Amino acid sequence: MNSSTLDLLLLRRKLEETKLSAQSIYHCLSLLRRVIYKTAEWNQSNAYVPSFKKIMPKFDNRRQRFLNDTEMSILLNHLLLLDPSKNWYEISLFAVNTGLRRGEIFNLSAIDIDLPSRTAYILDTKSGKNRNIHLNNIAFNIILRRICNINGNEKIFYPKNPRTFRKAVKESGLNKGITDLRQKIVFHSFRHTFASWLIQSGFPLALVSKMLGHSSIHVTMRYAHLAPSQENQAVDLIGYRLENNIGIELENYAHYAE
């Protein structure tokens, strides 16, 4: 191991001793890496440039938490109490009923809505894949109420007074005692809730992935553990078909398992 790599390892250890999160350490080392690489580029020298590949900490900062029925009711009630205009109440309801990202919601214009087919066209997405989504009764009624007073190019939703949402989360107590950022309720939790409820209800990962506009189904796999035991249901289906449709009969040996 050369001295430069050793120095980097020692720096990482010092950062870890300060109790910084893995993500913060990653950002610190990433900044240092850019400085070293840029300096080497400017000097146009053949000096040794250390590899950061094995130095950078690995971490998974994806948010995992979603709302259950009780938590959803509590949060929505707090939003109603804090904002008589129902702006953030409707935005939150629309989010959990569509699974849209925050940016996708606030980018929606009246021209992006096809009322006869109850369809919203989601353009210029994070993944680069445009998609259409069906608006259920709740989402469609929210759109109808807002769209009647705006022109085609005007935005349907507006992030006015964002502190209202943060205050509702705080007063609801949903994040009380939680220090791990991945487990805290934020606006993006509505998207996780949308996906989690669908998976729990037995809808295929591939379908949910398409509805969320994920770049790959591998992104959606984070919800796989929420799916019902489909493997058991699958093999049981084979047995049911053989017994009921084809007439296979076997002696019942269940008593041997007792």
List pLDDT tens digits, range 146-205: 998 887 789 999 999 999 999 999 999 999 999 888 899 999 999 999 999 999 998 999
Least confident range from 56-60, 66-70, 145-149, 240-244: namely 56-60
- Give pLDDT, residue 1: 46
Are the beta carbons of 186 and 67 closer than 8 angstroms? Answer: no
Least confident range from 22-26, 189-193, 215-219: namely 22-26
Residue 14 or 248, more confident: 14
For the ranges 87-91, 124-128, 180-184, 234-238, the maximum mean pLDDT occurs at 87-91
Q: Which tokens hold the place of 56? A: 């950078």
Least confident range from 124-133, 140-149, 244-253: namely 244-253
| Average pLDDT of the residues in 216-233 | 84
Number of neighbouring beta carbons within 10 Å of residue 51: 12
Q: With bands split at pLDDT 50, 70 and 90, how would you rate the model's confidence at 104? A: very high
Domains of the chain: 1-59 (no CATH), 69-226 (1.10.443.10)
Say how far apart CA 232 and CA 16 lie, in whole Å: 44
Say how far apart CA 207 and CA 192 lie, in whole Å: 15
